[in-house]
Amino acid sequence: MRGRFKYVVLLFIICIFTAFFLSSSFFQIKYLVVNGNNNVTREEIIKLSSIYYGENIFRINKRNSMKSIFQNPYVKMIKINRVLPDRVVIDIIERDIMAYVPYVGSYLNIDDEGMILEINPAIKRTDLPVVRGLKFETFKVGEFLSVENEEQFSTTTQIIKVIKNAGMLDMVSEIDISDLTNIRLIIKEGIKANLGSDDNMEYKISFAKSIIEDIIKQNLKGTIEMSHNGNPVFKPEQ
C-alpha cells in the first residue's frame, strides 16, 4: 500500500513539472537560429518549420518541422535542436545547382545527384555547364530526373561530380552525353574534348584539364582526342 502511495505521489510530481514546463514563459522560444542556408532564406526555412516565437520549446514537433522543410528541393539534410531554455537551432545542408538540362525552351537546374531544384526560362549562371543528350518526357521539381537511359543518367551525375572535384565547372560550357561511347566536353575558350566512354573518367578529365590549361596559355583552339587507346592527341583548329 505504501509503495503504491509513493508511486502516486511521484506521478503527481511528474505531472506538476510537466505542466510547468509546458506552460511556463521561461521556456517560450525567443531565438530561432538557422545555419547553413545560402539558396533558401532564413525566413523561408522558419516559415516551413512552423516553429514560432513565443511557442513553448517543448511543444514543437521536430519530425513534422523537418518533413515540412524538406518540401524545398534545395534542402538536403536538416537537424533541429532545442537549446534550453528559449532557443531553437535549425542546421541545414543545401543542394547546389551544378548543371542545366534544356527542356522545351527552358532549363532544368540540377545538382550533382540529378535532383531537379527548379526550372527557369534562361540560364542563371554562365559558370555552370549545360548537359545535352538526355531524353525524358516528364519531370517534377524536387525529384530526381528520370531519363529513358539510366546509364546516361548515372554517367551524367558521375561526370558532373568529377568536373566539380577537378575545379572545372566554370571552364566547361557543355557536356554532350548523346553518345556514351564518345562523351564530349565543350570548353568556353573554343576547345573540345572527346573523352570516349566513361572508363577512367577521373583520370581523363584530370588529364584533359592540364592539357586545356596549356592550350589556353598558347591561345589555341581545337579538339583534344581521348577516345582512343594511348596518349591524348590535340588537333588544332585550321
Output the pTM of the full model: 0.87
- Point out the residues of the chain with pLDDT beneath 70: 1-24
- Beta-carbon count within 10 A of 41 CB: 11
Q: In the prediction, which pLDDT does 238 show?
A: 73
Cell of 104: 522545351
Q: In the prediction, which pLDDT does 25 show?
A: 79
Distances 120 to 102, 109, 129, 166, 195 between C-alpha atoms, Å: 10, 8, 15, 27, 30
Q: In the prediction, which pLDDT does 43 show?
A: 97
Task: Tell the residue number behind the cell numbers 584530370, with chain if given.
Answer: 206
The Cα 152–Cα 135 span in angstroms is 9
The Cα 4–Cα 1 span in angstroms is 5
Q: In the prediction, which pLDDT does 18 show?
A: 57
> pLDDT tens-digit profile of 96-137?
999 999 999 999 999 999 999 999 999 989 999 999 999 999
Q: In the prediction, which pLDDT does 17 show?
A: 57
Cell of 210: 592540364
Q: In the prediction, which pLDDT does 228 show?
A: 78
Domains in the chain and their CATH numbers? 27-94 (3.10.20.310), 99-236 (3.40.50.10960)
Q: In the prediction, which pLDDT does 236 show?
A: 92
- Residue 115 backbone dihedrals phi, psi, to 5 degrees: -75, 130
Q: In the prediction, which pLDDT does 64 show?
A: 98
